[in-house]
Amino acid sequence: MPALPFMADLFAHDSQSTEGFLPAGVSYRPGLVDAATQTVLARAVADIAARAPFRHPRTPGRGAFSAAITNCGTVGWWSDQRGYRYVPAQPESALPWPEIPQAFRDTVARVMAGTPWPRFAPDACLINFYGPGAKMGLHQDRDERDFAQPIVTVSLGDTADFMVGGGVRSDKTQAFQFRSGDVLIMGGEGRMLFHGVRRVHEGTSPITGLQGRYSLTFRKAL
């Protein structure tokens, strides 16, 4: 695990500092992606969705996700009754997932400069869409091969109430408002913390043409 002395520096210039609020290894960076870039990223998501449509995957139990899901990258995260995993092709069409767009890679490179993972090179981007009433229960991201690699989330559109807990599901959670253009990095000792989306505030998206919320979560899956 890398040491994380950089966290205090990251928070020092943020307008909504969460220093001392979120656990170590969880870096919340409000407003890091500017409005013009948010629009570019949202359009790139629409292009991806035209080639890899959003679906509501089945959970391994009886339900389905209330968020709709698609992916880009070498592999995509998926769920069905066989469980959670990364798959090399779209389950319904057998087509490959679209490539990660250059605009996504540029944003990741900018976000990760100055962190312990400046050359973080995601091979998968899970894109969740939260429409009215969608949420995501507390979970860990644990389907990747190397937990030394961080998970990087960029939020677009509606504001979400995002929860971060501890290393076990029953640990107390803290919530904060995750807005369009904000970035969350979970790495090092924060990598395996439980997290989820309690609710999304409909109608708060600042992006023209986007109603609802996209979360882009960048992973090194393989």
**Residue 172, burial from CB neighbour count under 10 angstroms (0-12, 13-18, 19+):** exposed
Task: Pick between residue 29 and residue 219 the one whose CB is nearest to Mn ion.
Answer: 219
Q: What is the DSSP string of the chain?
A: ----THHHHHHHT-TT--TTTSPTTEEEETT-S-HHHHHHHHHHHHHHHHHS--B-PBPSSS-B-SSEEEEEESSEEEEETTEEEEESB-TTT-PBPPPPPHHHHHHHHHHHTTSS-TT---SEEEEEEE-TT--EEEE----SS-TTS-EEEEEEESEEEEEE--SSTTS--EEEEE-TT-EEEE-GGGTT--EEEEEEETT---STT--SEEEEEEE---
CB of 146 to Mn ion, least distance (A): 16
d(CA 51, CA 54): 10
Query: Least CB distance from residue 172 to Mn ion, whole Å?
Result: 18
Q: Kindly state the smallest distance separating residue 110's Cβ from Mn ion, in Å.
A: 22
Q: Alpha-carbon torsion 213, 67, 45, 141, what sign? A: positive
Nearer to Mn ion, 153 or 159 (CB): 153
Q: How far is the CB of 135 from Mn ion (least distance, A)?
A: 12
Q: Shortest Cβ distance from residue 141 to Mn ion (Å)?
A: 4
Measured from the CB atom, the residue of 141 and 144 that comes closer to Mn ion is 141
The smaller minimum CB distance to Mn ion, of residues 141 and 182, is found at: 141
- Residue placing its CB nearer to Mn ion in the complex, 95 or 169: 169
Q: Which residue number places its CB atom closest to Mn ion?
A: 141
The residue ranges that bind Mn ion (CB under 5 A) are 141
Give me the least distance between CB of 55 and Mn ion, in Å please: 17
Q: Which is nearer to Mn ion, 100 or 136 (CB)?
A: 136
